[in-house]
């Protein structure tokens, strides 16, 4: 046996030391190996530094934004950001440095201190947005300042100088978002779309960032690609947004809304394309671009008129009398009225009423915006079921009515390509059950719904969409601002647009539209009239408990094959026919004729002010009277 | 049995402290390995390995409580049953296991997966201890040695079928336990000789190794053996060994290129010469050595590592965790961690020797050997002294199965040790 060759020299108990010694020998070998690797053999250390990897990020230019005719709305200005890598900084003449870059000594010290805290090995942003000229003037001197490097960057410029609210702005990625990101795409201080189109189309606009890994030696010199570029990615330029907005129309809206608070949305009915979208007061979009961002933002966010809010999609109003058009269409569809219907009895509830009590027919009722007429229409709609108990009847009726109204987009998001579109409120059975208790309410509790007052909440976009639905005689297309996204218009891909049907027959809409035409021709909305164009419209006055009522006007034109549908709300403008209808008329003229001939009238509208001082104060007595009224 | 109200009684606090220290060091380094300077996340975030490791730690602490509450005699009495049941689990895993990185050794439990192979070590050590402590079993006799070897070999064979070769190799170290219990020293000596010869055969041309062996045999014959020992019988033995070793050396190349799988062949070649495939499998080894080497005496500082970031070295928080230690904590940190392991091993062996019960003693040796093997292979691989074998660094590497199985292994021994005066 082989075992006899090596005699058992140890007794069993003394085998523990053998095992321990075996363990220790291995341990000693490992310690020596580590000692060799980490201390003796400097080749690993220099290899380590040679091998230190620099990760260069190439941020591509952000996509630009164009109007429907290819005019530039948003562009980029190329600039340079300066970075500092604390470990590589060598002592330098701080006085001449501060002089060169026009920074204070304390800024220099504090920024480097923050950078050090973040990482000694990694670059931190030191200065933002040096222009090409500034960059050219300092680049030669940079040899004296190792550790400071440049990275190409950009800021947004606005050749169109409009549409600030819908465009939104970009800014440094907020801490919360930074932490939540899954792919770890953004670095601290990177730009990201924070609102509007910039936010909604962030992924298209930003492009794809390129990353390049390079090997560096101790001196910070490049020693070639890391892993033969296996991990490198090339930057892909951001996609442009080709919007449906008409820059001229948008700019006209801006000037018409001078001195006013409110908003406007114009839609091409057949496509759902937004032609103009404005929220007023607005701001100069370039204020929130570049270095001035934080100071401007603070000022704007403190403004009581909240210019940063996009009222067009987020403010809540009652639709007022514009809603009578919906009631008319539903009534006709249900067969509870005909265009010839008239009502004899005048309800006593309308103490706030300002129109004629008796309308000869439906056209008349729309033309003059008769409250009692639509009170009766709504009453008939709710009673259009087999229930006899008035409580049950109202309940079943409201439910049926609500289903149809919802098809107009009320009480839900329309799906516009903007973030934070408000759903609005469409009052339903549940809401009244909550207020009054189940089967504790009937028509007399909710009659204000008949004329667009009560528990509704709509934004201007929804009103414009209602107008487009009427113009289309019964359907609406998903409203959208961006027609195509891509590197150029040819390669672009459109976004998904759906057709939404109301389920009411076109012939009923024709009757409603006849009434709308009368509104502009000889009714409450005469100031929307445009020479040579058949405009159909409807006034609305949205009751406002806090102050003067909001003026609403919706209109589309021409009557046949409509090209534009507009909704305008002027806050505290009072009656819609006075404050809002002229704006609609001028915008229709601009869009359909390509020019506004009534320059004097335009000036007059522009100079009219409906703004009220300190509207947000609870003290109603400071509400200022409109400086001028413009009824024909 | 006596009712133990105080479950802490008799627990070896030195071991517990080292255990906790290693866990803490592990967590810090896992966090460093997954840390992304561009997007730092909290250590508690379950989105990365560090946060999940904290979760596993709490599960481990719960497991410890269970172990301390259970009667210590259970392990002895039910050793074979645990072993048998677990073999069934291992077999079932071959069929039910889900494929993770080419190995079928994981069983999915909701969002987490467990690797039964990790736990097989504990139950094998338990069964081996049970067998060796049986009256009349004596491993110095071939018959018993073979039977004991069977206990050791069955689980790794199943584990190899799960394509988890690394884990299977671990069981080989249990020869240390057999040696302690009387296996003739020639067996481990032969194994060590073969390993040394293997390395020599890989590094030097085979004919030089054979020549060296011949020279060694002649020197041994004339210088080491006394004149009266140079008889015919010993001549046969020396010649026999020479032929065996030479044959081994000459067949190494053949075995490597014909028996081992291609990726195993590459790993062995890389061990000898990592530059032979610097972008493929040699990559890890080179990167790992550079990372550790660049750490210097004091290291680059916590979270300041540059080599172990960006996820270039795969398994940074599991198998290659020691790179992070080496890079960020330098020689000093590496030394302290190795030191902790060796204090732990010394402590375990001395506790094992104190056991009255043979079962507890053998189990203790098993625990120490298994931990030793993992440290040996895992750290050895990162510093280029061992081939790349994917086994975790005990208590430090990320991984629920690994942490739980080592906790189970260690704390069963601490429980047995707490009752060391009982002789079963």
* Domain-embedded: residue A81: yes
Tell me the chain B residues in contact with residue A228 when contact means C-beta distances shorter than 8 Å.
279
Beta-carbon contacts below 8 Å between A and B: 140
Task: Give pLDDT, residue B313.
Answer: 59
**Contact list, B294 vs chain A (CB under 8 Å):** 44-45, 47-49, 51
Q: What is the 3-state secondary structure (H, E, C) of A415-432?
A: CCCCCCCCCCECCCHHHH
Kindly list the residues from chain A whose CB atom is less than 8 angstroms away from the CB atom of residue B345.
20, 23
pLDDT tens, chain B, 424 aa long:
445 457 778 899 999 999 999 999 999 999 888 776 666 677 777 777 888 999 999 999 999 999 999 999 999 999 999 999 999 999 999 888 877 666 778 888 777 788 999 999 999 999 999 999 998 888 888 899 999 999 999 999 999 888 888 889 899 999 999 999 988 888 888 888 888 888 788 778 888 889 999 999 898 888 888 888 888 888 898 899 899 999 888 888 777 777 777 777 777 777 777 666 655 566 677 778 888 888 888 888 888 776 666 555 567 788 889 999 998 899 999 999 999 999 999 999 999 999 999 999 999 999 999 999 999 999 998 998 888 888 999 999 999 999 999 999 999 999 999 988 765 5
The answer to whether residues A227 and A258 belong to one domain is no
- Work out the minimum CA distance from B66 to partner chain A, whole angstroms: 31
| Residue where a domain terminates, one of A243, A266, A291 | A243
Helix (H) or strand (E) holding B365: helix B358-382
Cα-based torsion angle of the residue sequence B181, B186, B188, B191 in order, rounded to the nearest 10 degrees: -160
Could you tell me if A335 and A218 lie in one domain? no
Residue A556 lies in a domain: yes
**Residue A618, preceding peptide bond in cis (omega within 30° of 0):** no
pLDDT of residue A355: 54
The answer on A271 and A226 residing in a single domain is: no
The whole model's pTM is what? 0.61
Interface touch A179/B295, C-beta < 8 Å: no
Whether residues A278 and A214 share a domain: the answer is: no
pLDDT given for residue A7 in this prediction: 43
Task: Select from B293, B306, B365 the Cβ nearest to the Cβ of A52.
Answer: B306
A529–chain B nearest CA distance, Å: 59
- CATH number at A69 reads 3.90.1310.10
CB B291 within 8 A of CB B322: no
Annotate B24-80 with DSSP letters as a single string.
Answer: HHHHHHHHHHH--TTS---TT-TTSHHHHHHHHHHHHHHHHHHHHHS-THHHHHTHH
In chain A, the N- to C-terminal Cα span, in Å, equals 125
The whole-angstrom separation of Cα A442 and Cα A432 is 9
Q: Do B331 and A39 touch (CB under 8 A)?
A: yes
Q: Residue A351: inside a domain, yes or no?
A: yes
What pLDDT shows up at residue A12? 61
Subunit contact A120:B304, Cβ cutoff 8 A:
yes
Please report, for the domain that includes residue A331, its CATH number. 3.40.710.10
Do A52 and B376 make contact, defined as CB atoms within 8 angstroms?
Answer: no
Nearest CA in chain A to B353: A16
Q: For residue A486, what are the β-bridge partners?
A: A240
> If we measure between CA atoms, which residue out of B107, B232, B90, B170 comes closest to residue B366?
B170
The SS3 assignment for A28 reads helix
| Chain segment B256-306, per-residue pLDDT in tens | 777 777 777 777 777 777 666 655 566 677 778 888 888 888 888 888 776
Q: Do A475 and A604 sit in the same domain of this protein? A: yes
Whole-angstrom distance, CA of residue A41 vs CA of residue A37:
5
Q: Tell me, yes or no, whether A133 lies in a domain.
A: yes
Among B176, B181, B297, beta carbon nearest to A38:
B297
Q: Is residue A179 part of a domain?
A: no
Closest A-chain CA to B346: A20
Give the range of the structural domain holding residue A469, as residue numbers without chain letter: 247-282+310-622
The HSE-up count of residue B359 (CA atoms within 13 Å, CB side) is: 25
- Has residue A87 been placed in a domain? yes
Q: Same structural domain for residues A441 and A381?
A: yes
Q: Within this chain, do residues A251 and A330 fall inside the same structural domain, yes or no?
A: yes
Query: What pLDDT is attached to residue A545?
Result: 76
B330: which chain A residues are within 8 Å (Cβ-Cβ)? 38
Partner-chain residue, chosen from B290, B334, B372, that has the shortest CB–CB distance to A47: B290
Distance separating alpha carbons of residues A223 and A210, to the nearest angstrom = 19
The reported pLDDT for the residue numbered A350 is 54
Residues 6+ apart with CB under 8 A from A630: A527, A578, A582, A604, A605, A608
State whether residue A44 sits within 8 Å of chain B by CB.
Answer: yes
A8 touches chain B (CB under 8 A): yes
Chain B residue nearest residue A54, CA to CA: B306
A186 belongs to a structural domain: no
A528, A540: one domain: yes
Q: What ipTM goes with this model?
A: 0.90
Stretches in chain A below the pLDDT threshold 70: 1-13, 44-54, 121, 182-184, 216-223, 227-228, 230, 344-358, 489-494, 611-632
Check if A55 contacts B (Cβ < 8 Å). yes
Q: Find all residues with CB under 8 Å of A375, minimum gap 6, and list them.
A: A347, A349, A350, A447, A450, A451
Mutate to test the interface with B, among A27, A35, A38 (most CBs of B within 10 A): A38
Which pLDDT score, from 0 to 100, does residue A523 have? 86
Residues A253 and A357 in one domain: yes
| A238 and A316 inside one domain | no
Claim to verify: residue A409 and residue A529 sit in the same structural domain: yes
Residue A215's DSSP bridge partners are: A53
User: Two tokens at B241?
Assistant: 């060994």
Q: Are residues A234 and A331 in the same domain?
A: no
What backbone torsions phi and psi does residue A103 show, to the nearest 5 degrees?
A: -125, 160
The total number of structural domains in chain A stands at 2
Q: Do B185 and A10 touch (CB under 8 A)?
A: yes
Q: Report yes or no: B80 at the A interface, CB cutoff 8 Å.
A: no
Question: Dihedral of CA A534/A536/A539/A540: which sign?
Answer: negative
Closest-approach residue (CA) in chain B for A57: B38
Residue B181 to residue A359: CA distance in whole angstroms:
112
Domain contains A460: yes
């Amino acid at each position: 046996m082989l075992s006899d060759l090596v005699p058992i020299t140890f007794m069993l108990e003394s085998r523990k030391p053998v095992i321990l010694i075996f363990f220790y020998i291995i341990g000693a070998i490992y310690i020596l190996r580590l000692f060799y690797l980490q201390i003796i053999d400097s080749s690993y250390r220099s290899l380590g530094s040679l091998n230190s990897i620099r990760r260069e990020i190439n941020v591509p230019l952000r996509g630009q934004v164009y109007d429907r005719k290819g005019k530039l709305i948003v562009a980029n200005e190329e600039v340079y950001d300066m970075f500092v890598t604390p470990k590589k900084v060598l002592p330098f003449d701080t006085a001449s440095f501060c002089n060169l870059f026009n920074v204070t000594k304390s800024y220099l010290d504090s920024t480097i201190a923050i950078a050090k805290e973040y990482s000694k090995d990694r670059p931190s942003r030191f200065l933002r947005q040096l222009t090409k000229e500034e960059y050219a003037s300092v680049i030669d001197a940079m040899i004296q300042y190792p550790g400071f490097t440049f990275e190409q960057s950009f800021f947004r410029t606005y050749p169109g100088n409009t549409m600030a609210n819908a465009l939104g702005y970009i800014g440094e990625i907020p801490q919360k978002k930074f932490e939540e990101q899954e792919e770890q795409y953004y670095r601290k201080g990177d730009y990201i779309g924070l609102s509007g189109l910039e936010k909604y189309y962030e992924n298209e606009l930003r492009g794809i960032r390129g990353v390049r890994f390079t090997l560096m030696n101790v001196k910070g010199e490049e020693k070639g690609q890391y892993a033969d570029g296996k991990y490198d990615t090339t930057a892909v330029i951001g996609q442009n947004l080709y919007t449906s907005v008409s820059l001229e129309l948008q700019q006209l809206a801006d000037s018409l809304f001078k001195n006013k608070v409110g908003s406007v949305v114009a839609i091409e009915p057949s496509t759902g394309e937004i032609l103009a979208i404005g929220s007023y007061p607005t701001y100069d979009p370039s204020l929130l671009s570049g270095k001035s961002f934080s100071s401007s933002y603070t000022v704007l966010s403190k403004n009581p008129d909240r210019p940063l809010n996009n009222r067009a999609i987020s403010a809540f109003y009652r639709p007022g009398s514009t809603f009578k058009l919906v009631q008319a269409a539903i009534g006709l569809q249900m067969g509870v009225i005909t265009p010839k219907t008239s009502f004899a009895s005048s309800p006593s509830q309308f103490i706030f009423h300002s129109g004629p009590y008796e309308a000869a027919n439906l056209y008349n009722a729309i033309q003059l915006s008769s409250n009692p007429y639509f009170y009766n229409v709504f009453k008939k709609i709710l009673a259009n079921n087999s229930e006899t108990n008035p409580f049950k009847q109202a309940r079943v009726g409201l439910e049926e009515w609500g289903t149809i109204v919802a098809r107009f987009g009320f009480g839900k998001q329309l799906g516009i390509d903007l973030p934070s579109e408000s759903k609005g409120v469409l009052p339903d059975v549940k809401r009244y059950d909550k207020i009054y208790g189940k089967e504790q309410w009937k028509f007399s509790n909710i009659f204000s719904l008949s004329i667009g007052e009560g528990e509704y909440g709509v934004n201007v976009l929804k009103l414009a969409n209602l107008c487009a639905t009427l113009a289309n005689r019964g359907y609406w297309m998903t409203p959208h601002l961006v027609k195509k996204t891509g590197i150029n218009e040819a390669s672009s891909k459109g976004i998904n647009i759906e057709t939404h049907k109301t389920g009411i027959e076109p012939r009923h809409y024709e009757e409603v539209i006849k009434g709308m035409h009368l509104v502009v021709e000889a009714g409450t909305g005469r100031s929307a009239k445009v020479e040579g164009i058949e405009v159909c419209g409807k006034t609305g006055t949205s009751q406002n408990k806090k102050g003067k009522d909001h003026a609403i006007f919706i209109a589309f034109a021409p009557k046949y094959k409509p090209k534009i549908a507009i909704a305008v709300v002027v806050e505290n403008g009072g009656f819609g026919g006075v404050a809002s209808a002229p704006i609609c008329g001028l915008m229709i003229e601009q869009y359909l004729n390509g020019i506004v001939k009534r320059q004097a009238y335009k000036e007059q509208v522009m100079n009219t002010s409906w703004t009220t001082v300190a509207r947000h104060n609870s003290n109603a007595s400071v509400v200022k009277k409109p400086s001028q009224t413009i009824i024909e | 049995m006596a009712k133990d109200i105080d479950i802490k009684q008799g627990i070896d606090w030195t071991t517990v402290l080292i255990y906790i220290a290693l866990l803490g060091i592990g967590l810090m380094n896992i966090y460093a390995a997954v840390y992304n300077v561009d997007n730092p996340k909290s250590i508690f975030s379950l989105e990365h390995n560090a946060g999940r490791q904290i979760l596993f730690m709490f599960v481990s602490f719960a497991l410890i409580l269970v172990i301390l509450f259970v009667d210590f005699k259970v392990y002895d009495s039910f050793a074979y049953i645990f072993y048998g049941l677990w073999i069934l689990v291992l077999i079932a895993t071959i069929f039910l296991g889900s494929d993770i990185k080419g190995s079928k050794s994981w069983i999915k439990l909701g969002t987490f997966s467990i690797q039964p192979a990790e736990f097989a070590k504990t139950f094998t050590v338990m069964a081996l201890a049970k067998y060796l402590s049986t009256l009349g079993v004596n491993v110095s006799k071939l018959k018993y040695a073979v039977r004991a070897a069977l206990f050791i070999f069955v689980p790794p064979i199943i584990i190899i079928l799960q394509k988890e070769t690394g884990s299977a190799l671990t069981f080989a170290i249990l020869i240390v336990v057999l040696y302690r219990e009387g296996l003739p020293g020639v067996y481990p000596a032969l194994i060590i000789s073969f390993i040394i010869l293997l390395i020599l055969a890989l590094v030097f041309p085979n004919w030089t190794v054979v020549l060296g062996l011949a020279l060694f045999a002649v020197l041994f014959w004339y210088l080491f053996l006394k004149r009266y020992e140079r008889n015919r019988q010993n001549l046969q033995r020396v010649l026999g060994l020479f032929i065996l070793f030479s044959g081994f050396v000459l067949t190494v190349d053949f075995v490597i290129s014909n028996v081992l799988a291609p990726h195993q062949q590459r790993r062995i070649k890389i061990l000898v010469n990592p530059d032979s495939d610097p972008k493929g499998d040699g990559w890890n080894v080179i990167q790992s050595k550079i990372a550790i080497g660049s750490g210097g005496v004091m290291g680059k500082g916590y979270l300041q590592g540059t080599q172990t970031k960006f996820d270039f070295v795969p398994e940074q928080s599991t198998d290659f965790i020691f790179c992070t230690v080496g890079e960020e904590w330098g020689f000093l940190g590496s030394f302290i961690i190795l030191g902790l392991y060796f204090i732990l091993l010394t402590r375990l062996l001395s506790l094992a020797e104190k056991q009255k019960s043979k079962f507890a003693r053998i189990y203790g040796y098993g625990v120490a050997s298994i931990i030793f093997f993992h440290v040996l292979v895992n750290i050895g691989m990162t510093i280029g002294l061992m081939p790349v074998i994917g086994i975790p660094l005990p208590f430090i590497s990320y991984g629920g199965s690994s942490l739980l199985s080592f906790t189970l292994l260690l704390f069963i021994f601490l429980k047995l040790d707490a009752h060391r005066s009982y002789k079963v």
